[in-house]
Amino acid sequence: MLLKTPAIISAVVKERKIVSDLIEKESISGIISDNRFGVYSNKIPSVYITHQLNVLSGNTTRITSKIHQYLIKKFDVCWVPDVATKYNLSGELSNIKPNKIKTKYIGILSRFKYKEIPKKHTILVLLSGVEPQRTLFENKLIKELSNFKGNVLLVRGILNESKIKTPSNFTVVNYLLANELEKAILQSTLVIARSGYSTIMDLAVLNANVLFVPTPKQFEQEYLAKHLFLEYKIPFFTQDDFKFEDIKNFEAKGKFKKYTESFPLDLFYLFQSK
> Considering the chain, what is the average pLDDT of its residues?
87
Q: If you write DSSP's letter for every residue of 40-61 in order, what string do you get? A: --SSS-EEEE-S-SS---GGGH
* Nearest C-alpha neighbor of 225 from the set 192, 186, 190, 247: 192
pLDDT of residue 266: 46
Instruction: Give the model confidence (pLDDT) of 141-182 as tens digits.
Output: 999 998 888 999 999 999 887 889 999 999 999 999 999 999
In single-letter form, the type of residue at position 28 comes to I
pLDDT-derived band at 268, boundaries 50, 70, 90: very low
> In this predicted structure, what is the pLDDT of residue 253?
59
Q: How far apart are CA 173 and CA 158, in angstroms?
A: 9
Least confident span in 83-87, 203-207, 227-231: 83-87
Of 263 and 58, the structure prediction assigns the larger pLDDT to: 58
What integer pLDDT is reported at residue 95 of this predicted model? Answer: 86
Higher pLDDT, 254 or 228: 228
pLDDT in tens, 113-136: 999 999 999 999 999 988 999 999
Q: What is the pLDDT of residues 68-112, one digit of tens each?
A: 999 999 999 999 999 887 778 999 999 887 678 899 998 888 999
pLDDT band at 250, cuts 50/70/90? low
> At CA 144, angle to CA 255 and CA 230, rounded to 5?
25
Structure confidence by residue, pLDDT tens digits, 13-48 = 899 999 999 998 998 889 999 989 899 999 999 999
Checking if the pLDDT of 198 tops 70, the result is: yes
Q: How many helices (H) and strands (E) does the chain have?
A: 8, 9
Q: Where are the beta strands (DSSP E) in the chain?
A: 31-34, 46-49, 77-80, 103-105, 121-126, 152-155, 170-173, 188-193, 210-212
In this structure, of 5-19, 167-181, 259-273, the range with the lowest mean pLDDT score is 259-273
Please report the sign of the dihedral spanned by the C-alpha atoms of residue 184, residue 186, residue 190, residue 194. Answer: positive
What domains appear along the chain, each with residue ranges and CATH number? 12-108+263-271 (no CATH), 121-248 (3.40.50.2000)
pLDDT at 197 over 90: yes
Burial of 123 (0-12, 13-18, 19+ CB in 10 A): buried
Grouping H, G, I as helix, E, B as strand and the rest as coil, residue 99 is coil
Per-residue pLDDT at 175: 93
